[in-house]
């Protein structure tokens, strides 16, 4: 079983290394894209579009995950401990 798994992993690794790699970047001027002429670029509007007002979401309570909830262990029953600890989730 281990020989089969080893053989399979070697074959898969060989296929992974045999894949084509992307071509290296060339710094020649012919390889660089030319900028578009000004006639093809969209004209800037005279008035900027008004942005939609962003919704502000209010959290019901601040996160207490980082606070210590060990004081809940001093409660009398398991139900009371669970109710106390749920505030820290």
Label residue 22 left, alpha or beta by phi (over 0 means left) and psi (-120 to 50 means alpha): beta
- Give 62-85 pLDDT, tens digit per residue: 777 888 889 999 999 999 999 999
Cα dihedral sign, 8-9-10-13: positive
CA dist., res. 84 & res. 75, Å (int): 8
Which residues lie below 8 Å from residue 64, measured CB to CB, with a gap of 6+?
Answer: 87, 88
pLDDT tens, position by position, 13-43: 877 777 766 666 666 555 566 666 655 555 5
Could you tell me if residue 34 is left (phi over 0), alpha (psi between -120 and 50 degrees) or otherwise beta?
beta
């Amino acid at each position: 079983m281990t020989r089969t798994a080893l053989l399979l992993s070697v074959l898969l690794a060989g296929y992974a290394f045999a894949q084509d790699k992307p071509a290296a970047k060339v710094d020649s001027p012919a390889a660089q894209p030319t900028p578009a002429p000004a006639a093809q670029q969209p004209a800037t509007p005279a008035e900027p579009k008004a942005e939609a007002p962003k919704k502000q979401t209010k959290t019901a309570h601040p996160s207490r995950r980082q606070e210590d909830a060990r004081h809940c262990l001093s409660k009398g029953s398991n139900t009371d401990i669970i109710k106390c600890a749920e505030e820290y989730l």
